[in-house]
């Protein structure tokens, strides 16, 4: 649940291609957002956030992976 909370705290920080495809989170903005939210980022938490990011990216882009 901690990873979901962390992801939702920064879920508006996407990088997009000029054609509108979602490329991934802007990690600089994510770090700032997590710091401001008072969320301590551990390696395990970050790994889980990246898994959520990958799934969200596939869903947002309509990829079948």
Which pLDDT score is estimated for 40?
A: 97
Retrieve residue 35's tokens.
């710091």
Cα–Cα distances in angstroms (integers) from residue 11 to residues 20, 35, 41, 56, 61, in the given order:
16, 14, 15, 10, 15
Whether pTM exceeds 0.75: yes
Task: Encode pLDDT of 8-54 as tens digits.
Answer: 999 999 999 999 999 999 999 999 999 999 999 999 999 999 999 99
- Comparing CA positions, the residue from 56, 1, 46, 47 lying closest to residue 24 is 56
């Amino acid at each position: 649940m901690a990873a979901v909370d962390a992801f939702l705290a920064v879920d508006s920080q996407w990088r997009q291609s000029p054609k509108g495809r979602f490329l991934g989170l802007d990690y600089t903005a994510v770090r700032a957002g997590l710091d401001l939210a008072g969320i301590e980022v551990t390696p395990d938490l970050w790994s889980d956030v990246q898994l959520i990011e990958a799934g969200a990216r596939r869903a947002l882009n309509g990829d079948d992976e």
